[in-house]
Structure 1
Amino acid sequence: MVPSKRSPTLANNLRLLALPLILLISACTPRQEPPQTDYFSAASQHTLQRNHSLTQQLALEDQRDFEQARRGLIATPPSLIVESSDGRRIWSQDDYRFIRGESPDTVNPSLWRQAALNNIHGLFEVAPGIYQLRGFDLANMTLIQGETGWIVVDPLTSTETARAALDFAFKHLPRKPVTALIYTHSHIDHFGGTLGVTSGMSLDDNSLRVIAPQGFMAEATSENILAGIAMGRRASYMYGRHLERSPTGHIDTGLGKEPALGQFGLKQPTETVPREGLQTRIDGVQFEFFDVSGSEAPAELVFYLPQHKAFCGAEVVSRNLHNVYTLRGAKVRDALAWSRHIDRMKQHAGEAEVLFASHHWPVWDNAAIQSFLAGQRDTYKYIHDQTLRLANQGATAAEIAEQIRLPDALQSRFANRGYYGTVSHNVKAVYQHYFGWYDGNPANLNPLPPAESASRYVALMGGAETVIQRASEAFEAGEYRWAAEILNHVVFDQPDHEQARDLLAGVYEQLGFQAESGPWRDTYLSAAQELRHGVMAAVSPLQGATELLRQTPVPRFLDSLATRLNGPKAADRHLTIKLVIADRKERYLIEVANGVLHHRVTSESAPADATLRVSHDFFIRILTGSVGLGEALTSDEASVEGRILRLVEFLGLLDKPDGNFAIVTP
């Protein structure tokens, strides 16, 4: 068959299909260096006082966590920088060497303490036969010694960091093959580095056991795919991707230093843990798996090792308050189900002498484990129950968030502090879970959009200069939240008003310097940076995700395509396009009608306006950009049959978002 002449937009439009999935890992995109300026403000007197007051409330000098974080340390690399084959930096623990000594004025002292704990890195012995590599990535990699090789739990985010971690481990541990992989859950920092620990290190694929929770593959390849572009943009704020690593920039996520970047891969599980759990032997080691899906991740497992009296808590528990709702945007998690899962874990860990997890450092001693689990369980339960108690009295999400504080018995424990999630935004998540966005007040049922209401507020308050004056007074009084609220109206009314932008940036800096949460700090400081310097363009690591894309079912890309269709433009069009993945004998009919896109499996003989026929590998290479436009137009691996103009018309109905939309300006 001779390929038909194709539209020059073919490759570019196909490439757009990959963007939502790629932005699943958008927090892992290459970091652009921010402008080297001295624009950061100093901490104000109000910020100094607020941060100092926290030192009076918390036992920041308590060294027990530091002792536990160093316990079992075998070795620390003198320098930890991981680069790609082309010399691009993938990971740098060295960037955080400035985190030592007393907290600087521009960092919340409690967050500084957490950042210092997360700086402790290297190879650790958790218990005889169980080791962890910490600080080689955002998450931990755990190695369990089997009879013939190593069982790897959570092989990090990227091929490069996973390989570097395992290479370092084998400098101090016996170099044996990887006999099994365990994915604790469906977030990429716990499986993306798979190929780094299997390539050349594992037994042949037929004997390698890969164990994951039920539903893992669907969640791992589709999480965020529909809303990935917006989530990716927001993730750049949440993780401070474009901030300097410094006392006035990014210092920590609370959960770990930052997401890694590089090549991402995945292997299909050979076994999944059913809802009722699973007991099995892996390379001679007895495992008791428990399903905890619907807690921190939609697909997640934990397990107990009775021979070691060791319990793996995955990411259901960690040394901080986690996110019931994550600031990058995601489906709200069920705080009550989360708490109940921890309660069951507490029972399963009844004889455990060590508890290790996917982040942070372990907990030793059964009494300490039981206390830790009870504290985590009760923190999520308290947030859930008290939110509903106040909601049932008529309080709104914002009002409840302003009222709820954890009891002293909970908030005095560092493991329950809001270094990653916060009580404030988790309360709002619980409210949203039950009541949605509407607070019941008709004034909020159909409000004006932000830019329109901003212009009216500014006019009502006497104009921009008056508002700026009032905001300056609020700034001087340390009323930063109020100053941000009224200055936001000016910026949305007059986005080019330099004085308003600069003052709002200064306000956000103070809020960032005060934040105990790493993501809150990064969000405020990223906003300040953009107000002063504009949006820094995102760079999507398409080619780094080739292996992950290969594991993604084609229908997931078509689901994303439906969200790209411009409904008003397509409202009076009726088109049918057939997509054939020839080597897989997969055929899909894409139909546009009434401004919506449907897709379904179809037959070879089904009629369509046009048919796009490609091999799966070629499809992936187009998505990642490794196939250039010339090859896409001439290759025998892709052809268009039928009415090519109808395909061109279809592609013209698709929006082409670039993920660099405004956040702090209209």
Structure 2
Amino acid sequence: MNGLLKLLSLVIGAVFAGGLGGTAVAQEPQHFSPKGKMPSQYTIEAQQQQRQLLPFADKRDFEEAKRGFIAAPPFRQIMNDKGDVAWNMDNWDFLLKGMEFDSIHPSLQRQALLNMEYGLFEVVPGIYQIRGFDLANISFIKGDTGWIVIDPLTVKETARAALKFINEKLGERPVVAVIISHSHGDHFGGIRGVVDDAALAAEKVQIIAPKGFLNEAIAENLYAGNVMTRRKSYTYGDLVPPSPYGHVDASIGKAVASGDVGILPPTISIDQPIQELTIDGVRMVFQNTPGTEAPAEMNTWFPDFKAFWAAENIVGSLHNILTLRGAPVRDALAWSQYINLALYQFGNQADVMFASHSWPRWGKERITEVMRGQRDMYANLNNQVLHLANKGVTINQIHNVYEPPKSLQQQWHSRGYHGSYLHNSRAVIQRYLGFWDLNPATLVPLSPEESAPLYVEMMGGGSKVMAKGRDLYAEGKYRLATEILNKLVYAEPDNQEAKDLLADTYEQMGYQFESPSLRHSFLAGAKELRDGVVAVKAAKAGSPDFVRGTSTELFLNYLGIQMESGKAEGMTFKINLSTPDNGEKFVLEMSNATLTTIAGYQAEDADLTVTIDRRELEDVMIGTATLSDKVSSGKAKMEGNPQVLAQLGSTMVMFDNWFEVLPGTKKREALPKPELFQDDATRYEGP
């Protein structure tokens, strides 16, 4: 595999949290790591305090999560076509044993138990959900002749299993439409499990998505995709196995399935703020909500069912203003305002509110309670963080100062699971003011590996830092312990004793966090400090569908990122690219060791001009052919000096998506060379 397909198999994976669909079985309450520690007395006391403070007497979520249950499948695992496990609900069976784990924040254990619901549920007559097959829910609306599917999960295996199961239970019906609520992979990646090429070619299936869906689905994760994939391995818990001491939940679902991910372009794009449509007898009113949980997202009102679909804008949790895997900072105020609009326009009419995660809410009083609480949650974050910032509280202080109102803290749907108030408060300041806290000392700081040796020296050397670190750990002062032990590990990356003690402090902090994102990050850091960097299996995301959905301009822009500037010193050339079948033209120019792209132009002094239809270029991007193959077969033309392709290829670097995060945790290995452009120039023999 070469070309853009190889790149996308790495970078598009940043959307997904693979690695937990495998064959691991539920574990008894013993630690998975020989170096792992049990919860300390301070962690136990912290968990006991939370059990006393939180409103555990409120059982409404459990009643709603079970309401409408029709059936569970006889299987707990979903297999792929090769016989491997794509999804395994048994991974988290330890949660069903009725035990309270001091290694899990009590609120998180409650959320994790709610997400164990598994099977087919009736939302209202004619609307159904299958939950527990993937991170997201897949929903089905009964039309006049077939199913309208909402958000077909992450991979085709789980989506296909869901469609088969509902057909077995409620009668066989064709899929006549797919609604994709937004541009994140767990909401469209399984589309190949419910839609086939024959139905598309016969125009028997409509695919409905918000304006900008296809571009945003790829662009948000392409440019910084490699580092996002690595960050995702921490925040989604890929590195720690399902266990009371490891992965327990992903807050809005258990985890993401492993398998084949696809994408198809919409046949209908929702481009108005409010837009009505009728498909197969089902009336729908779409509310576009760009820039909320995703750059392209929409809610949907189903007036005949009195049902409001909240996409991922309203779930059973505070969401991310800045998702820690990496993404542009979201607009908390706009998010709140879109929920407010939905509350006033649809909330008072709805008998049920359902969404792509969590469970439905029934009754106008309950629906408006949740909508109002979520509206206020995002508005308070935005407004009160800026209130404090205007008083001089900085990005490096805000997470220790801001607290949500006590009334919100007592509402389960406003707790900090998927997004924490700790990192979201920092994100609000980042959005409006940037990373700098206005202290000149932090404006151009030393890198940690440069500053750490001085700190350790001034603290009297590594042995004194270790001694103080042990004292702080023994006193339960974990944040203080990490402050100095982190310096020591950067100063002495081969000091395994220091790394193990830092791992112990990370672990206790991870146990105490309510948010799985924070828990996973600390537990993943602990594991890599102890064991080193160990690659884990990720979701297979680089399908030809993604290449076809990637615009030529996005592809060319990514080449400018993949190019290593130091290898291009002294290079100057221009390449014209023309794709006649769609009328696109581009100029790639290398100058000042920088590759730039401009659309809509052709350079008169180009060193090389490449003419190839976009549909033929896709074979090159996927890696099933080279430009030389296309020229030889008469499907492309190159005029000029083909050696500039070799020059361009020599600057390309294949990123390592398992790079070192913490010092001293990765063995250095040579990276493979990128295969894109590798043999085009050498095989070209001229026109």
Q: TM-score range by the shorter chain?
A: over 0.9
1:23 is matched with 13
Letter matched to residue 378 of structure 1: D
2:91 is matched with 95
* 1:83 maps onto 2:73 in alignment: no
* 1:38 maps onto 2:34 in alignment: yes
Per the TM alignment, residue 527 of structure 1 is displaced from its structure 2 partner at its CA by 0.7
Equivalent position SS for 2:482: helix
Q: Percent identity?
A: 40
Query: How many pairs does the alignment contain?
Result: 656
User: CA–CA distance in 2 between the matches of 1:78 and 1:38?
Assistant: 35
2:158 is matched with 161
Segment of structure 1 superposing worse, 621-630 or 313-322: 621-630
User: CA–CA distance in 1 between the matches of 2:197 and 2:613?
Assistant: 28
Equivalent position SS for 1:341: helix
CA contact 1:335–1:381 (8 Å) conserved in 2: yes
Give the direction of change, closer, same or farther, for the CA distance of 1:137–1:234 in structure 2 (3 Å limit): same
User: CA–CA distance in 1 between the matches of 2:16 and 2:353?
Assistant: 31
CA contact 1:31–1:241 (8 Å) conserved in 2: no
2:447 is matched with 449
1:6 is matched with none
2:267 is matched with 270
2:425 is matched with 427
Equivalent position SS for 1:409: helix
Equivalent position SS for 2:140: strand
User: CA–CA distance in 2 between the matches of 1:43 and 1:486?
Assistant: 22
Equivalent position SS for 2:330: coil
Deviation string 1:305-355 (CA, Å, 9 cap, x unpaired) is 111111001100100110001111110001111111111111122110100
Give the alignment partner of residue 460 of structure 1, picking from 458, 461, 472.
458
Per the TM alignment, residue 580 of structure 1 is displaced from its structure 2 partner at its CA by 5.8
User: CA–CA distance in 2 between the matches of 1:97 and 1:579?
Assistant: 55
Letter matched to residue 474 of structure 1: L
Per the TM alignment, residue 12 of structure 1 is displaced from its structure 2 partner at its CA by 5.1
2:489 is matched with 491
Mapping for residues 393-408 of structure 1, pairs under 5 Å: 393-408=391-406
Mapping for residues 172-571 of structure 1, pairs under 5 Å: 172-199=169-196, 205-348=202-345, 349-537=347-535, 544-571=542-569
Segment of structure 1 superposing worse, 538-547 or 35-44: 538-547
Letter matched to residue 115 of structure 1: A
User: CA–CA distance in 2 between the matches of 1:13 and 1:465?
Assistant: 51
2:682 is matched with none
Segment of structure 1 superposing worse, 112-121 or 637-646: 637-646
Segment of structure 1 superposing worse, 187-196 or 200-209: 200-209
User: CA–CA distance in 1 between the matches of 2:169 and 2:22?
Assistant: 35
User: CA–CA distance in 2 between the matches of 1:233 and 1:585?
Assistant: 37
Give the direction of change, closer, same or farther, for the CA distance of 1:635–1:41 in structure 2 (3 Å limit): farther
Give the direction of change, closer, same or farther, for the CA distance of 1:43–1:541 in structure 2 (3 Å limit): closer
Per the TM alignment, residue 588 of structure 1 is displaced from its structure 2 partner at its CA by 3.5
Give the alignment partner of residue 115 of structure 1, picking from 112, 115, 121.
112
Deviation string 1:199-235 (CA, Å, 9 cap, x unpaired) is 2895754242221111112111212211111111000
Segment of structure 1 superposing worse, 637-646 or 545-554: 637-646
User: CA–CA distance in 1 between the matches of 2:275 and 2:72?
Assistant: 36
User: CA–CA distance in 2 between the matches of 1:660 and 1:506?
Assistant: 23
Equivalent position SS for 1:171: helix
Name the TM-score, length of structure 1 as normaliser: 0.92
CA contact 1:20–1:225 (8 Å) conserved in 2: no
Mapping for residues 566-605 of structure 1, pairs under 5 Å: 566-579=564-577, 588-601=586-599
User: CA–CA distance in 1 between the matches of 2:425 and 2:329?
Assistant: 11
Give the direction of change, closer, same or farther, for the CA distance of 1:486–1:54 in structure 2 (3 Å limit): same
* 1:58 maps onto 2:57 in alignment: no
Give the direction of change, closer, same or farther, for the CA distance of 1:637–1:82 in structure 2 (3 Å limit): farther
User: CA–CA distance in 1 between the matches of 2:308 and 2:20?
Assistant: 35
Letter matched to residue 388 of structure 1: L
CA contact 2:116–2:132 (8 Å) conserved in 1: yes
Per the TM alignment, residue 566 of structure 1 is displaced from its structure 2 partner at its CA by 2.0
Give the direction of change, closer, same or farther, for the CA distance of 1:12–1:177 in structure 2 (3 Å limit): closer
User: CA–CA distance in 1 between the matches of 2:420 and 2:634?
Assistant: 54
User: CA–CA distance in 1 between the matches of 2:631 and 2:656?
Assistant: 24
Segment of structure 1 superposing worse, 396-405 or 143-152: 396-405
CA contact 1:291–1:300 (8 Å) conserved in 2: yes
Equivalent position SS for 1:398: coil
Give the direction of change, closer, same or farther, for the CA distance of 1:603–1:300 in structure 2 (3 Å limit): closer
Letter matched to residue 50 of structure 1: A
User: CA–CA distance in 1 between the matches of 2:311 and 2:451?
Assistant: 45
Name the TM-score, length of structure 2 as normaliser: 0.90
2:678 is matched with none
Give the direction of change, closer, same or farther, for the CA distance of 1:275–1:584 in structure 2 (3 Å limit): closer
User: CA–CA distance in 2 between the matches of 1:321 and 1:312?
Assistant: 18
User: CA–CA distance in 2 between the matches of 1:665 and 1:192?
Assistant: 35
User: CA–CA distance in 2 between the matches of 1:55 and 1:577?
Assistant: 65
Equivalent position SS for 1:181: strand
Letter matched to residue 244 of structure 1: P
Give the direction of change, closer, same or farther, for the CA distance of 1:444–1:37 in structure 2 (3 Å limit): closer
User: CA–CA distance in 2 between the matches of 1:489 and 1:68?
Assistant: 48
CA contact 1:18–1:624 (8 Å) conserved in 2: no
Give the direction of change, closer, same or farther, for the CA distance of 1:271–1:656 in structure 2 (3 Å limit): same
User: CA–CA distance in 1 between the matches of 2:557 and 2:538?
Assistant: 20
Deviation string 1:449-481 (CA, Å, 9 cap, x unpaired) is 111011111111111111111111111111111
CA contact 1:580–1:586 (8 Å) conserved in 2: yes
- 5+ residue gaps, structure 1, are 1-10
User: CA–CA distance in 1 between the matches of 2:435 and 2:360?
Assistant: 38
CA contact 1:178–1:201 (8 Å) conserved in 2: no
Letter matched to residue 331 of structure 2: D
Per the TM alignment, residue 507 of structure 1 is displaced from its structure 2 partner at its CA by 0.8
User: CA–CA distance in 2 between the matches of 1:374 and 1:18?
Assistant: 40
Segment of structure 1 superposing worse, 193-202 or 174-183: 193-202
Segment of structure 1 superposing worse, 541-550 or 514-523: 541-550
CA contact 2:16–2:186 (8 Å) conserved in 1: no
Give the direction of change, closer, same or farther, for the CA distance of 1:456–1:619 in structure 2 (3 Å limit): farther
Give the direction of change, closer, same or farther, for the CA distance of 1:311–1:545 in structure 2 (3 Å limit): same
User: CA–CA distance in 2 between the matches of 1:408 and 1:205?
Assistant: 56
Per the TM alignment, residue 89 of structure 1 is displaced from its structure 2 partner at its CA by 2.1
Give the direction of change, closer, same or farther, for the CA distance of 1:660–1:622 in structure 2 (3 Å limit): farther
Per the TM alignment, residue 631 of structure 1 is displaced from its structure 2 partner at its CA by 8.7
Deviation string 1:622-647 (CA, Å, 9 cap, x unpaired) is 65566799999998878876434332
Equivalent position SS for 1:170: helix
CA contact 2:343–2:371 (8 Å) conserved in 1: yes
